[in-house]
């Protein structure tokens, strides 16, 4: 599938994960059609694939409502300038990668001006704030989704969509056995290992640290000699978690705080206790038995419950369509409930076989070479535009 080498694509990624997705997409586009120009907002990985960034990507990275409020005026100003730039210098196509609250408003303006718009990574419109689907329809010419149930949702609203698969499934590899991972972390053979993942965002640490510290204390009492692996990113996050451990008097000798490395922690674990998020998909690909939890502020939870229309929270459960993985949300997320679910599954071989089979199905469904599929969809749109322009001449 060939297009003119002088084609220009506008592209905006606002987070590290988006920069990775974008870099893989641009790499695939460059292999199939060398010479395309890319301009917008991106990180270092996308720059390596030839993208020019008009603003630093960190400008769009926001954690928490306070920071969002402080940055709001600056971000609105940047979006206004980008709209003006793209309207004055129209790209042949625009790709918004995730960050929907920023990209969709920009995409709406560009689509109205006749510029084809593609959005890569669906907003969680299928889960909550479903009213956004009408704005998405006005903003997006084509949606690229990571999950099949998302694509089915868009089809119901007659929005052009392609399910491309998930890059995590494409590149996922079990590099070590559980015993090799334990050995690499200095854990003696026969020790029971629990991986504890509180979440990577600062506010998640604040809501989850004491809950997990209390859970760890009960588990250590019930399973003497067990080991806890806690992957944490950043000095501040480590301080927050250490403070919680000290407050609850958790045995520090049984606890290893890792500098990130969640994959290694889960690989070594007999059981994974983790906050709902993308990490649950990685745990599923590792075929790990897990218990998922999540806590928010009372106000945030109330708002989400009012706007939510799903009963399942974790990605594995949404992918299999039923509550395969235990989910403990808000008031149900107590140390006692977590321990109860953990101990009911820890040595349950029937459940482990059932879960392993379902996780195999998830991997097969998601492993589709996402970047290649996304590139094909983008190039098809560019070709359709080229054919339409020829017919108009």
The predicted structure's pLDDT at residue 70: 66
Mean pLDDT of 58-71: 60
What's residue 64's pLDDT? 43
pTM check: above 0.85? no
The most distant pair of C-alpha atoms in the chain lies apart, rounded to whole Å, by 78
Q: In the chain, what are the domains?
A: 8-165+368-392 (3.40.50.2000), 178-366 (3.40.50.2000)
Q: According to the model, what pLDDT value does residue 146 have?
A: 96
Token representation of residue 253: 């000798």
| Type and span of the H or E element at 316 | helix 315-320
CA dihedral sign, ordered 58, 61, 64, 65: positive
Q: Residue 390 — pLDDT band, cuts 50, 70, 90?
A: low
Residue 167 CB burial class (10 angstroms; 0-12, 13-18, ≥19) = buried
Looking at per-residue confidence, does 69 or 219 come out higher?
Answer: 219
List pLDDT tens digits, range 138-181: 999 999 999 999 999 999 999 999 999 999 899 887 678 899 99
Distance between CA atoms of residues 197 and 187, nearest Å: 18
d(CA 139, CA 143): 10
pLDDT tens track for 248-284 = 999 888 999 999 889 999 999 999 999 998 899 999 9
pLDDT (0 to 100) of residue 16: 81
Q: What is the pLDDT of residues 106-128, one digit of tens each?
A: 999 999 999 999 999 999 888 77
pLDDT in tens, 227-243: 999 999 888 999 999 99
For the chain, the distance separating the N- and C-terminal CA atoms, rounded to the nearest angstrom, is 22
Please report how the helices 100-112 and 132-139 are oriented relative to each other, as an axis angle in degrees rounded to 10.
Answer: 50
């Amino acid at each position: 599938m060939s297009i003119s080498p002088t084609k220009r694509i506008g592209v905006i990624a606002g987070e590290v994960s988006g920069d990775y997705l974008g870099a893989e997409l641009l790499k695939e586009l460059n292999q199939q059609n060398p010479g395309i120009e890319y301009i917008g907002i991106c990180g270092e990985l996308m720059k390596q694939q030839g993208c020019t960034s008009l603003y630093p990507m960190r400008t769009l990275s926001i954690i928490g409502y306070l920071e969002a409020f402080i940055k709001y005026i600056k971000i609105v100003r940047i979006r206004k300038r980008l709209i003006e730039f793209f309207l004055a210098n129209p790209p042949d196509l625009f790709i918004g990668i995730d960050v929907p609250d920023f990209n969709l408003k920009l995409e709406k303006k560009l689509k109205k001006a006749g510029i084809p718009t593609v959005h890569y990574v669906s907003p969680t419109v299928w889960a909550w704030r479903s009213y956004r689907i009408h704005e998405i329809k006005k903003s997006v010419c084509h949606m690229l989704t990571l999950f099949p149930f998302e694509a089915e949702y868009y089809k119901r609203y007659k929005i052009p969509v392609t399910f491309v698969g998930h890059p995590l499934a494409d590149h996922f590899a079990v590099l070590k056995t559980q015993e090799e991972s334990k050995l690499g972390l200095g854990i003696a053979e026969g020790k029971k290992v629990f991986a504890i993942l509180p979440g990577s965002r600062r506010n998640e640490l604040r809501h989850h640290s004491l809950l997990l510290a209390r859970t760890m204390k009960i588990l250590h009492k019930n399973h003497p000699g067990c080991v806890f692996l806690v992957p944490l990113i950043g000095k501040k996050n480590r301080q927050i978690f250490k403070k919680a451990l000290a407050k609850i008097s958790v045995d520090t000798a049984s606890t290893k705080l890792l500098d990130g490395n969640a994959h290694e922690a889960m690989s070594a674990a007999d059981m994974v206790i983790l906050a709902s998020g993308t990490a649950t998909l990685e745990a599923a690909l590792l075929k790990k038995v897990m218990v998922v939890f999540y806590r928010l502020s009372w106000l945030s939870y109330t708002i989400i419950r009012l706007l939510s229309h799903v009963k399942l929270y974790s990605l594995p459960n949404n992918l299999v369509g039923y509550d395969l993985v235990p989910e403990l949300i808000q008031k149900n997320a107590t140390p006692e409930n977590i321990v109860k679910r953990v101990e009911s599954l820890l040595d349950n071989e029937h459940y482990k076989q059932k879960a392993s089979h379902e996780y195999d199905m998830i991997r097969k469904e998601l492993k589709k070479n996402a970047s290649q599929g996304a590139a094909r969809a983008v190039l098809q749109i560019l070709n359709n535009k080229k054919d339409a322009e020829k017919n108009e001449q």
